[in-house]
Structure 1
Amino acid sequence: MHTRLLSPDQEGIAAACDLLSRGEVVAIPTETVYGLAGDARNPRAVAGIYQAKGRPSFNPLIVHLPDRAAAERFAVLDAQARHLADAFWPGALTLVLPLRQDAGIASLVTAGLDTVAIRVPAHPVAHALLSAFGGPLAAPSANPSGRITATTAAHVTDPENGLGGRIPAVLDAGACPVGVESTIVGWSGGEPALLRPGGVAAEAIEAVLGQRLLRSALDPDAPSSPGQLTSHYAPRAQMRLNALAAEDGEVMIGFGPIPGELTLSATGDLTEAAARLFDVMHRADAMERPIAVAPVPETGLGAAINDRLNRAAAPR
């Protein structure tokens, strides 16, 4: 299969809509990362997402919608969920919500759960596509399952490490400005819980809610939301974390005062580091040497960065 690049204009969006309406999958830009989109109501399209990514079918997908009103047609939002939606949508926050019985979402999307993960993306091209398509799009990250996430169209179309040749098209809108996946919040026993750190800092969510988010133990073999597998975002090379210097020919990824051949942010800026994370990991992996990564603080976006690094370095 030839994977073609679509321009982020009316013509490209119309071509993407045509493919999606025929049950095909298309990689699309969001402010977080590129997503591999398919019609969430079409079981064949959703199966195509899993097949292209090689994703295990017990790992649920995020449904992308244009606004909160659309979200309410597919899921039940209580007062807390509406409060978070109004504060952070459109944006890098995913909410895991009770699925409406008449939602019409393919069961593969939810991996058989009675909840659905929903996000309203802020990226203008993603929003234009959702408005033009007029339906829910399931869209996990547009990369082979477990491998480094794509934040540019070139990452997606890479035939060795991406999805080049596996999918028909990529809607190319340049680099993703946030650079890490969305934060995921769900509810456990009626209390809000952080299911995955991401592009919205947990501290900001807690400030809106006026309470701390639960951090409960997760079962990677039975995930309750996307992004909970132990080994994920992984390069081909082995990765060593919290390194102060390279050893034995490693590629050193620096941060702040700790230098390296590559760096997440020479100034120690966590926003810059998040935006650069996956691109730097792709570049390091291409050097075909073991990778060492400098320590990153666990505050703000650092929690999301460290979550991705820990999963990338996990035993496989």
Structure 2
Amino acid sequence: MICRKSDEESIQIAADYIRRGKIVVLPTDTVYGFSGIVDGRHYSFHTNEKICRIKGRDEKKHLIQLISKTEDIKKYTRDVIPDELLEKWPGPLTIIVHTFAKDGNFETTAFRCPGDEWLRKVIALCGAPIYSTSVNRSGFAVLDNIQQIKNEFGKEVDLIVDDGDKKNGLPSTIVSIDENGEVKVVRQGTVTVNNV
């Protein structure tokens, strides 16, 4: 199915698909992304595996998780995140923090609170973080032309939200917080961050 971001019901439609474990293509504040709900305590849709299968990506590589509010990050990590980073949210900054794994150990997870208000409303309606990764086959260029996205992935995803072409869209900046609380820049993107 295709809907336009400008459609009055687009937020509700996108959230309905995501809540039911469907894989959708959403416009973000950077580039188009494959999205699906992050599995919770009461359901397991395996959306991470589904997205990786479509991309041809190693399932062991974790996907970015999008949250609707800056303060939501505190639900998932005990890491102390410097205020100068949190002040850049909502926006195209991804922060890698330590989270609890299912086996009780720590793992690292990348979170972003996107700058696009429409997208934050979709995430809020989902009631859980959603995965996001660029729309492309693994090892190939990110697709920024909506018609190309429809042609390439229209039969493999359940919904595409059309917001026109995303020419020259830069990916998010990625930083990580290590065990000592130090911030390291992993990738400079749209937002400029110095090692803190």
TM-score w.r.t. length of structure 1? 0.55
Q: Distance in 2 between matches of 1:89 and 1:12?
A: 24
Q: Which has more helix, going by share of residues? A: 1
Closer, same or farther in 2 for the Cα pair 1:92/1:131, shift >3 Å?
same
Counterpart among 122, 126, 131 of residue 129 in structure 1: 122
**Displacement after TM superposition at 1:125 (Å):** 2.3
- 1:184 corresponds to which of 142, 164, 174: 174
Show the counterpart of 1:198: 189
Identify the residue that residue 98 of structure 1 maps to in structure 2: 98
Cα deviation 1:99-140 (Å, max 9, x = unaligned): 145xx8xx9xxxx97011000111132122112222100111
The 2-side partners of 1:7 and 1:61 are apart by: 25
Q: Unaligned 5+ residue runs, structure 1?
A: 207-211, 214-316
1:35 aligns with: 33
- Given that 1:142 and 1:149 are in contact with CA atoms closer than 8 Å, whether structure 2 keeps it comes out as yes
Please tell me whether residue 150 in structure 1 is matched to residue 143 in structure 2.
yes
8 Å contact kept, 2:56–2:137? yes
Q: 1:113 to 1:79 in 2, by over 3 A?
A: closer
The answer on whether the counterparts of 1:29 and 1:125 sit within 8 Å (CA) in structure 2 is no
Report the aligned-residue RMSD.
Answer: 2.3
CA distance 1:75–1:154, shift in 2 (3 Å): farther
| Residue in 1 that maps onto 2:48 | 46
Query: Which range moves more in the overlay, 172-181 or 68-77?
Result: 172-181
Instruction: Say if 1:29 and 1:35, in contact at 8 Å, map to a contact too.
Output: yes
**1:76 maps to what in 2?**
78
The answer to whether the 8 Å contact 1:32/1:178 transfers is: no
> So what's the TM-score if we normalise by structure 2?
0.85
| CA radius of gyration, larger in | 1
Shift of 1:90: 0.8
User: Which structure's relative contact order is higher, taking Cα pairs within 8 Å and 6+ residues apart?
Assistant: 2
SS in 2 for 1:140: strand
Q: How many residues align?
A: 189
Q: SS at the partner of 2:133?
A: coil
d(CA) in 2 for partners of 1:135, 1:49:
17
Specify the alignment match of 1:170 in structure 2: 160
SS class of match (1:167): coil
Instruction: Give the aligned residue type for 2:184.
Output: A
Shift of residue 33, structure 1, vs aligned partner: 0.6
| Identity over aligned pairs, percent | 26
What SS is found at the alignment partner of 2:2? strand
Q: In structure 1, what residue type is equivalent to 2:84?
A: H
Q: How far apart are 1:58 and its partner, in Å?
A: 2.4
Residue 158 of structure 1 aligns to a residue whose secondary structure is helix
1:189 CA drift (Å): 5.2
* Counterpart secondary structure, 2:9: helix
Give the structure 2 partner of residue 15 of structure 1.
13
Q: CA deviation at 1:89?
A: 0.5
2:3 to 3, 6, 11: 6
Q: Which has the higher mean CA deviation after the structures are superposed, 43-52 or 62-71?
A: 43-52
Higher strand share: 2
Q: Quick one: structure 1 residues 19 and 25, their matched pair in 2 at CA, closer, same or farther if it must change by over 3 Å?
A: same
Gap regions ≥5 residues in structure 2: none
